Amino acid sequence: MDSLHEWLAQPACFEIVLFTISIVAGTLGAILGLGGGIIVIPTLTLLFGVNIRYAIGASIVSIIATSSGAAATYVKDRITNIRVAMLLEVATSVGALSGAILASYVKAQWLFLLFAAILLYSAFTMWRGNRREGQSPHAEDPLATKLRLHSSYPDAALGGQEVAYRVSNVVLGFVLMLFAGLTSALLGIGSGSLKVPAMDRAMGLPIKVSTATSNFMIGVTGAASAGVFFMEGLILPALAAPVALGVLVGSSIGTKLMVKLPAREIRRAFVVVLLVIAVQMLVKGFT
């Protein structure tokens, strides 16, 4: 371990290793609608031994880079539902702001456990519910019609066929996003892991639309908290630069892969990642 650290302490080695790992984080994040924090944070803290404060600072940069990098492609390919994103961003940003204010009053310990429980439940329902894309199991929501949320997207995995979908449970989705924004501020995580299941399960969006729209949204929540991290000196250029560049490269690879992947595979990969994050949260909650 010591010789590894000696080797990593050489600037060129450190930057190249972090850049390479960030490519993986960006690819995975772009496909699954997550910020890449699940890879960036453990890499920095467990492998490199960096203080968690700087690891979270770097992961915020990773979230914003994944979001903008992936959204550029998904928006152009019409996979992102911009109306759903804008509507739900009201909830996530209000939630995040409340979280930032509450952060010093709330004990994070039990929140990690609650968060883990929600992730396990989401993983369970997403694993079971392998429905056909575009067919919501819920009744149509008249509010969604009024807000013109129903839409369609071209699925490259189905030969570019246009998949139409209807949106349901707008109010429930909105409330879940308030919670997602709140936890992202309280626990310092991107919370794509909550956004995707909420859109996929509660609102009945196709999985590809859910991950692309989550990708679009996480950047806004991230930007809101980045200001605080910047001013407190927690975003270190030496960490943030290779992370940002790696993630930008990775997200452009990820978007190309995602449009071609069958929805089923994306859903399965997402369940696995949910379980990994749940375990991470349980460890944090019990230690």
CB closer to other proteins out of 113 and 245:
245
The answer to whether 106 contacts other proteins (rule: CB under 8 A) is no
Measure the CA–CA gap between 80 and 89, rounded to whole angstroms. Answer: 13
Tell which one of 30, 196, 240, 263 touches other proteins (CB under 8 A).
Answer: 240
Q: Give the N- to C-terminal CA distance of the chain in Å, as an integer.
A: 23
Question: Taking the complex as a whole, how short is the minimal distance between the CB of residue 88 and other proteins, in angstroms?
Answer: 10
DSSP assigned state of 157: G
Contact 39, 250 (CB under 8 A): no
For other proteins, the binding residues in 140-159 under the rule CB under 8 A are: 147
User: Site size for other proteins, by CB under 8 A?
Assistant: 63
Binding segment for other proteins (CB under 8 A), chosen from 34-42, 85-93, 197-205, 257-265, is 85-93
Tell which one of 194, 224, 258, 277 touches other proteins (CB under 8 A).
Answer: 224
Angle in degrees, 0-180, between the axes of helices 11-32 and 207-231, rounded to the nearest 10: 140
Q: Where are the beta strands (DSSP E) in the chain?
A: 151-155, 161-165
Q: Cα dist. 210→45, 74, 168, 270 in Å?
A: 30, 11, 13, 11
Measure the CA–CA gap between 126 and 159, rounded to whole angstroms. Answer: 25
CA angle 184, 186, 192 (to 5 degrees): 10
The answer to whether 61 contacts other proteins (rule: CB under 8 A) is yes
Question: Taking the complex as a whole, how short is the minimal distance between the CB of residue 143 and other proteins, in angstroms?
Answer: 11
Measure the CA–CA gap between 193 and 202, rounded to whole angstroms. Answer: 14
Tell which one of 1, 20, 28, 76 touches other proteins (CB under 8 A).
Answer: 76
CB closer to other proteins out of 54 and 112:
54
Question: Taking the complex as a whole, how short is the minimal distance between the CB of residue 174 and other proteins, in angstroms?
Answer: 11
For other proteins, the binding residues in 5-24 under the rule CB under 8 A are: 5, 8-12, 14-15
Binding segment for other proteins (CB under 8 A), chosen from 105-113, 123-131, 158-166, 220-228, is 220-228
Measure the CA–CA gap between 52 and 42, rounded to whole angstroms. Answer: 9
Tell which one of 3, 231, 260, 287 touches other proteins (CB under 8 A).
Answer: 231
Measure the CA–CA gap between 179 and 187, rounded to whole angstroms. Answer: 12
The answer to whether 175 contacts other proteins (rule: CB under 8 A) is no
Residue 155 backbone dihedrals phi, psi, to 5 degrees: -105, 110
Would you tell me which residues interact with other proteins (CB under 8 A)? 5, 8-12, 14-15, 48-51, 53-54, 61, 64-65, 67-69, 71-73, 75-76, 78, 80, 82-83, 86-87, 89-90, 93-94, 96-97, 100, 147, 219-220, 222-228, 230-233, 235-242, 244-245, 248
